[in-house]
Structure 1
Amino acid sequence: MISTNYIIVTPCRNEAENLPQLAESIINNTITPILWVIFNDGSTDGTAQVAHELQRKYDWIDVIDGEIASRDLGFHYAKIVDRTIKNTLDKCKSNNISIEYIGLIDADMVLDFDFFEKIIRRFEENPNMGVSSGTVAYLINGVKKLEQGRSNHPIGGLRVWRTKCFEDTGGFPQSYSADSVSNVLAMLHGWDTIKYDDIVGVELRKTSSAEGFWKGFMTRGESDYYRDYHPIYVIFKSVKYSLTKPYYRGIAYIYAYIRSALTRMDKIDLLEVRKYYRKKHREIIDDYVQKVKSRF
């Protein structure tokens, strides 16, 4: 029998339309959590009402209302996630409840009915797995289309940690692209990180569309500078973004990266993380160069 000792944290802002669909998918999952904490980040629509109605109906759902703040997918989001998870773990500990797994689920997701059963089973089959996630799908003409991604790169919005790994790595990093940094820290501490394509959450909104593509890809450029991405690798990414609509994504991305360099924006203070990214990017660049050379 698999463990049911897990919690879920969902930060949300202005998700009144999407939150009920996520809630239905969690409530109807084959195993429900010990506690699901919804952090209402100063919503100005009906999100608070939806969340508190769920809290009234289910004793395992808790709601925290934050102050009104500008939407920010960088440090503000990371601080909310880290604080909420740690406070929830402390609350469970004070009630002598042992939590083995921690879920971080975005409010605009709809989960497979057996999402948590399947992903927790994978953890129990692999004692060295520290972080895992499902894969995002989008409904296109009624058909699920999976988002492509690396199998060792668990994504942010469908994420589950082993609690021991979360604690080993210091919690959720206070960083841009905190999910990526969290993956790196887990690997550097010897944990496996795995994304599964057969465990799915349907995203009700394309990534970055909540911000607008221009602002969303500006944030990506700032994030990649902050994490000390190799400049040549950044150029590759900019070209890739520019090859598909909307074509201006590549311009927004490279502009933000260059602006961050010119203004000497601070970089992440975790030197081991910066070294990891630079090493991986050099390997990718060298591999590409070798492939080009082999054609001549």
Structure 2
Amino acid sequence: MGIKDYILVTPCKNEEESLPKLAESVVNQTIKPILWVIVDDGSTDRTPEILRNITSKHSWIKSLRLNEKPRDLGIHLSHVYRTGFDYAFNYCKENNLEYYYIGSVDADITFDGNYFESLMSEFEKNKNLGICSGHVGNIINNKIIWSNFRKDIPSGGARLWKKECFIDTEGYLLTCSPDSVSNVKATIRGWDIRQFEHIKMISTRAYASAEGQWKGYKKLGVNNYFIGYTPTHVLLKGIRMLYSTDGYSKNGVGLAYIIGYFSEYIKGAPRIKDDEILDYYKYKRLKEILCSKLKSRSVKK
């Protein structure tokens, strides 16, 4: 097994504009994945044609197509990802392909040619590193708006797991916000998780905007309810969004986020059936955030 061998999975739906740019980024990596599985979630545009063209040129790129369904950023998205991972694991087993890392990348992402090699260098520096990503910038009105940097939270846009961490955290779970759940489980089990500011990736659209940011952030609120966020946590997060200077506040996404959460909270909708995730968001996460803010202020003084 090569210490720099990895597999990659991408879900996509109606990405005829973004997918060619992503494909160019992956094909031009200094260290290419031994297998890249792209799962077409029932696209109705030119995405299938683009996938046929890509896979015909590169034998290490495979595509799957699911039945047409409306775009869904809830549990359905984790099913799409899981389909890709299951296919990749089975393909590697049947073809005696071994790998050290497991990666995921969204269809609207682009990055420099050394993106994954740079992430691997961080794993080599820190043997306890379980999950990592670069820092994402979103293109808004033809400008790159960099997301708030949190070194302790890897982005879901383009990330790598060490294989041992992926297995230790129960793989890619069928849940809302699977990347967040994976982050929590890795932390609980003692792995380091990191986002690296010096390693960059670009999203070709604003965050959660595939079907409009209002709908996207409302769904984010629904998903955060499902994995156990408390009302206090959501109100603080929503208010911060409303007064943010990162280019999103003018769209009222903080309000959409709060509405999405409390629409589920008021009706007592079901939550994730995972006590360690629920306990983390109920007892630990808000405390971590407040301690981090206090520490940051004391450093500035």
Once residues 104 and 216 of structure 1 are traced to their aligned partners in structure 2, the CA distance between those partners, rounded to angstroms, is 20
User: Is 1:265 aligned with 2:289?
Assistant: no
Cα pair 2:139 2:206 within 8 Å, conserved: no
Written as runs of structure 1 = structure 2, the 5 A alignment for 1:1-296 is 3-139=3-139, 144-244=144-244, 245-278=249-282, 279-284=284-289
- Decide whether aligned partners of structure 1 residues 88 and 288 sit closer, same or farther in structure 2, where only a CA change above 3 A counts: closer
Q: Show CA shifts across 1:214-267 (max 9, x none).
A: 211111211121122121121112212222533532222222222101211111
Q: TM-score by structure 2 length? A: 0.90
- Relative distance call for 1:145 and 1:247 in structure 2 (3 A) is closer
- In structure 2, the CA distance between the partners of 1:251 and 1:128, relative to structure 1 (3 Å rule), is same
User: Do the aligned partners of residues 110 and 286 (structure 1) sit closer, same or farther apart at CA in structure 2, a change above 3 Å counting?
Assistant: closer
Between the aligned partners of 2:239 and 2:96, the Cα distance in structure 1 is: 53
Answer whether contact 1:55 1:62 (CA < 8 A) is retained. yes
Compared CA separation, residues 43 and 256, structure 1 to 2 (3 A): same
Cα distance in 1 for residues equivalent to 2:70 and 2:143:
34
Instruction: Verify the 8 A CA contact 2:139 2:205 in the aligned structure 1.
Output: no
Question: Which deviates more, 137-146 or 273-282?
Answer: 137-146
| Counterpart Cα distance in 2 of 1:161 and 1:134 | 13
Contact 1:105 1:158 in 2 (8 A): yes
Secondary structure at the counterpart of residue 246 of structure 1: helix
Q: Distance in 1 between matches of 2:293 and 2:194?
A: 25
Shift of 1:163: 1.2
Return the offset for 1:3. Answer: 3.1
Partner AA of 1:59 in structure 2: S
1:72 to 1:171, Cα distance in 2 relative to 1, 3 A: same
Larger CA deviation: 167-176 vs 235-244: 235-244
SS at match of 2:33: coil
Residue identity (%): 38
- For structure 1, the 5+ residue unaligned runs are none
Alignment partners' CA distance in 1, 2:18 and 2:106: 10
Partners of 1:291 and 1:133 lie apart in 2 by 22
TM-score (norm 1): 0.91
Aligned CA distance change for structure 1 residues 144 and 242 (closer, same or farther; 3 Å): closer
Gaps of 5+ in 2: none
Question: d(CA) in 1 for partners of 2:190 and 2:160?
Answer: 17
- How far did 1:170 drift? 1.2
Amino acid in structure 1 at the alignment position of 2:85: I
Shift, 1:290, TM fit:
11
